[in-house]
Structure 1
Amino acid sequence: MKDKNKLEQRSTVYDVAALAGVSPSTVSRFMNQTTYVSDAKRKQIQAAMIELGYKPGQQTGASASSRTMTIGVLVQDPDSPFYSSILNGIEEVLLAQGYSHIIVTGHWNSEEEMESMQLLLSRSVDGIIIVTGGLSDEQVVEFSKKRPIVALGRELEAARLRSIKIENSVGAYMATNHLIQLGHREIVHIKGAEGHPDAQQRYEGYCQAMEHAGLPVKLQLVEQGDFTEQGGFDAVQRLLTNKRQFSAIFASNDLTAHGAMLALYKAKRPVPERVSVIGFDDVPGSAFFIPPLTTVRQPIFDTGYAAALTILDMLNGGASNNFRIPPVELVKRETTQAHIL
């Protein structure tokens, strides 16, 4: 007969998943009750947990007796390819260590983000990963007094707060400079969500590249977007309606670039023959877009992976942020070409 105590000590989410015949992420979502899991799979998971004696939140060792083995993750749009890749990186680390995660959303609304953070606190998560967003630095520092926090896309440090910087300005400079080197001078920038740190930093990188090349930043060629396909589409339509003259577009992210390219297609301005377009992020679908999108690749999965390693290191008493991510890089595909006067 199996020793139940031994089973409880060594059983993990992976054991439950293997016995139930489902993926580890399905087990995690079932335990968190944040995503629909079919009745058949629920019954398989419950049966496996009973047989293994697995209890969500279990961890051996007296020092961990107060832990829930759950990490909260605040994102803006979990359906976005960018956030999906971040979450995949986070999930890979957490599941391997027997942790679950609760995903909450902010939808680019600071009030909704505050409510989501309060929800995570009420669920007694052990720590929180904040993936960009509109919370002020002061608010993030204040929340870190209640739970350890890793914040992506910021430069903050506090007693229980670590941050992982995303090279937004550097990447934006690279993207804009690429267009300048191709001979473009009338370069549009479609900004990201208003008030968002990533959006501001990418705009700054665009301005720096223009200024270093001796080119003026023309405000009539700067359009407000919101990091979505619709935002990129609408921005290009406004430019065309107002008869702005331009030969290239630097979009604040790949989704914005996708929307911009659709608007150009509808206006019969082929990419890249009439207008060159470059994005930022290199989400999975960009390599398969028609034409494939030139973009700035940031290590999205690696960033999520590093964030998860950092929060676990903090929970285990680590005092430094030693987990680094690869630098951004320019990925040349087929949506940019030399400007022909």
Structure 2
Amino acid sequence: MEKLTIDQVASLACVSRSVVSRVLNNHPNVSEEARRRVLEVIKKYNYRPSSVARSLATRRTYEICILTPRRGNEALANGFWTLLHLGIFEQCIQRGYYVSLSMLSGDAEEELEDRLLNEHSFDGFVLLTSEVAERVIDTLRERGTPAVLVGHDPAYPDVSSVDVDNFGGAYRAVRHLCRLGHRRVAAILGHPELQETRDRRAGYLQALQDAGAEVQETLIEIGDYSQRSGYEIMRRWLERGPDFSAVFCASDTMAIGALLALYEAGVRVPDQMAVVGFDDLPVSQYTCPPLTTVHQPIYEKGRWAANILIDQIEGRKRLAVHANLQAELVVRRSCGAQA
């Protein structure tokens, strides 16, 4: 007999197509009688793609979902997210899991979240930033669904997480600027509600304090990790006449925006203004001049997140794991010093 379609399985089991789908995805909203009939048809006619067979044997779907925030036009265009997603995707493929990617925006309908969390039986979730975690973590806890957070947040000590040493990375960057002779160093930081922003801010302030440099709140501006925010903040500073000689940007994207504003204003980098970023995106070595930045292992963060989550799904880890990867300064021309 030719291989059955899902509609033929439904007909033979005297159920609807959606019931077959729910059985294949191990969804609880199926009567035991309907589940028994569908499984009998599946067994009799060998309707078992390899992934479904594994699901039936292990009561897992071998699917995980990445929940990511949407931030304007930066959601997928930002090179940071591309590298992070790639690390997650490739590690999941190696371990035999499929990956779905879904965005949550501030005005997302509750119906969408309900479908993602309740109707589709994912084995686990990768939560990108605490913005996402605060929206879904209570539901996942109630269901006992494994989750890993990319980015530490002390509000969720029971949720596994992976991050980079944000404090240490910012400290090394600003300390380097101070050692080059800069006494007034400005900062363009990211979303203030994120733990990584708080840590990078603390590293920036500690480096200034240790170097005996000036610490002034007026030299700190808040961006949103977009190129536009870096550009607009630097434009405002230039319009009023900057009273600093260097700027630490909490992301390469904001640093690239700041570099454009400086170029348009005729300010020479690094002769008149030193610029340092954070992330070490691939594009940072091709800016003009090449950007000094803090390298964080973005791709490896994704692999770590996937591994931690799958280990929890498969029962290898019972307690929360909090991984903290190293951040290293990469010196290029934008700071005024060669490597």
Is there any run of 5+ residues in structure 1 with no aligned partner, and where? 5-52
For 2:63, the aligned partner's letter is T
| SS of alignment partner, residue 128 of structure 1 | strand
Q: TM-score, normalised by structure 1?
A: 0.76
Q: TM-score, normalised by structure 2?
A: 0.76
RMSD (Å) for aligned C-alpha atoms: 2.8
Does the 8 Å contact 1:271/1:335 carry over to 2? yes
Q: Deviations over 1:233-266 (max 9, x none)?
A: 0010111122231110100100000000000000
Look up the match of 1:8.
Answer: none
User: Is 1:60 equivalent to 2:54 in the alignment?
Assistant: yes
User: Is 1:255 equivalent to 2:249 in the alignment?
Assistant: no
For 1:187, the aligned partner's letter is V
Does the 8 Å contact 1:75/1:133 carry over to 2? no
**Bigger shift: residues 75-84 or 304-313:** 75-84
User: Is 1:74 equivalent to 2:67 in the alignment?
Assistant: yes
Once the two structures are TM-superposed, the CA of residue 68 in structure 1 deviates from its matched residue by 2.0
- Name the count of aligned residue pairs: 285
User: Is 1:328 equivalent to 2:337 in the alignment?
Assistant: no
Once the two structures are TM-superposed, the CA of residue 117 in structure 1 deviates from its matched residue by 4.8
Is there any run of 5+ residues in structure 2 with no aligned partner, and where? 4-46, 70-74
Q: For 1:12-91, what aligned pairs fall within 5 Å after superposition?
A: 55=49, 57-60=51-54, 64-65=58-59, 67-76=60-69, 77-91=75-89
Q: Deviations over 1:278-323 (max 9, x none)?
A: 0001111111222111000000000000100111100110225679
Find the aligned partners of 1:285 and 1:113 in 2 and give their Cα distance. 35
User: Is 1:308 equivalent to 2:302 in the alignment?
Assistant: no
2:125 aligned residue (125, 128, 140): 128
Look up the match of 2:91.
Answer: 93
Does the 8 Å contact 2:104/2:132 carry over to 1? no
Find the aligned partners of 1:113 and 1:263 in 2 and give their Cα distance. 37
Look up the match of 2:177.
Answer: 179
Q: Deviations over 1:16-50 (max 9, x none)?
A: xxxxxxxxxxxxxxxxxxxxxxxxxxxxxxxxxxx
Does the 8 Å contact 1:69/1:98 carry over to 2? yes
For 2:121, the aligned partner's letter is S
- Closer, same or farther: CA 145–244 of 1 in aligned 2, 3 Å: same
- Which protein has the larger Cα radius of gyration, Structure 1 or Structure 2? 2
Look up the match of 2:274.
Answer: 276
For 1:330, the aligned partner's letter is L
Look up the match of 1:205.
Answer: 203
| SS of alignment partner, residue 164 of structure 2 | coil
User: Is 1:143 equivalent to 2:140 in the alignment?
Assistant: yes
Report percent identity of matched pairs: 33
Does the 8 Å contact 2:55/2:62 carry over to 1? no
